[in-house]
């Protein structure tokens, strides 16, 4: 037996150098480096999806930011309105207090003048009789003390009335403004979570 022959009916091993065809060994075709057509389509579809998703996300994000800015501006406007309302109430209270003080001062002055006029017969009439300055001081002390006690009673009545819910005082207004701001902030946050 010769080398290269096999037992049986099998064909001898083909030599790697033998010609396979009538025109010689066919040249192997090399594939071009890069993606196949299917890979290029997949990358294009993925790129379109990323760009489209990014655009949609940006639009949603921009809308949410614009909505939050509007809510913040509305909240600032509401706070300004509350501050203006508080200033108006304070100004009205100050004006009322000034009017009451002016009316009280004019009443006191009229009462002091009447007292001095009534007591003018006692001035300089005898030993130890009061002078005009003493009479004026006594009348002022008498009527200013009486009016001050009346004013304190009126002030305590007004304070009790404010506490009873008859009017709006500054702490009540500030607490209402703070509660309103807190409620708006909570609702804005819930709306933001619902949009997301």
Q: Which residue has the tokens 């002016």?
A: 102
Q: How far is CA 14 from the centre of its chain?
A: 88
Q: Half-sphere exposure of residue 3, counting CA atoms within 13 Å on the CB side?
A: 1
Among the ranges given (22-31, 67-76, 84-93, 131-140), the one the predictor scored with the smallest mean pLDDT? 22-31
Among the ranges given (54-68, 69-83, 123-137), the one the predictor scored with the smallest mean pLDDT? 123-137
- pLDDT confidence tier of residue 169, bands split at 50, 70 and 90: low
Q: What is the pLDDT of residue 185?
A: 76
| Rounded CA separation 110/133 (Å) | 17
| Rounded CA separation 184/188 (Å) | 6
Q: What is the pLDDT of residue 42?
A: 93
* DSSP labels, 103-164: HHHHHHHHHHHHHHHHHGGGTTSSTTPPPHHHHHHHHHHHHHHHHHHHHHHHHHHHHHHHHT
Residue 78 has a CB neighbour count (10 Å cut-off) of 14
Task: Tell me the mean pLDDT in the region 162-178.
Answer: 61
Is the pLDDT at 59 greater than 90? The verdict is yes
């Amino acid at each position: 037996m010769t080398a290269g022959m096999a037992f049986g009916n099998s064909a001898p091993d083909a030599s790697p150098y033998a010609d396979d065809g009538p025109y010689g060994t066919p040249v192997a075709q090399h594939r071009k480096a890069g993606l196949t057509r299917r890979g290029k389509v997949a990358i294009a579809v993925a790129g379109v999806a990323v760009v489209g998703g990014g655009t949609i996300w940006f639009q949603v994000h921009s809308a949410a930011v614009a909505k939050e800015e509007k809510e913040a501006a509305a909240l600032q406007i509401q706070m300004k309105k509350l501050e203006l309302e508080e200033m108006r109430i304070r100004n009205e209270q100050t004006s009322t207090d000034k009017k009451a003080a002016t009316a009280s001062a004019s009443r006191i002055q009229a009462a002091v003048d009447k007292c001095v006029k009534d007591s003018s017969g006692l001035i300089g009439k005898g030993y130890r009789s009061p002078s005009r300055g003493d009479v004026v001081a006594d009348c002022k002390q008498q009527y200013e003390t009486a009016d001050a006690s009346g004013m304190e009673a009126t002030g305590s009545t007004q304070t009790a009335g404010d506490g009873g819910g008859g009017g709006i005082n500054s702490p009540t207004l500030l607490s209402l403004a703070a509660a309103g701001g807190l409620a708006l902030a909570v609702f804005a946050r819930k709306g933001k979570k619902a949009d997301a």
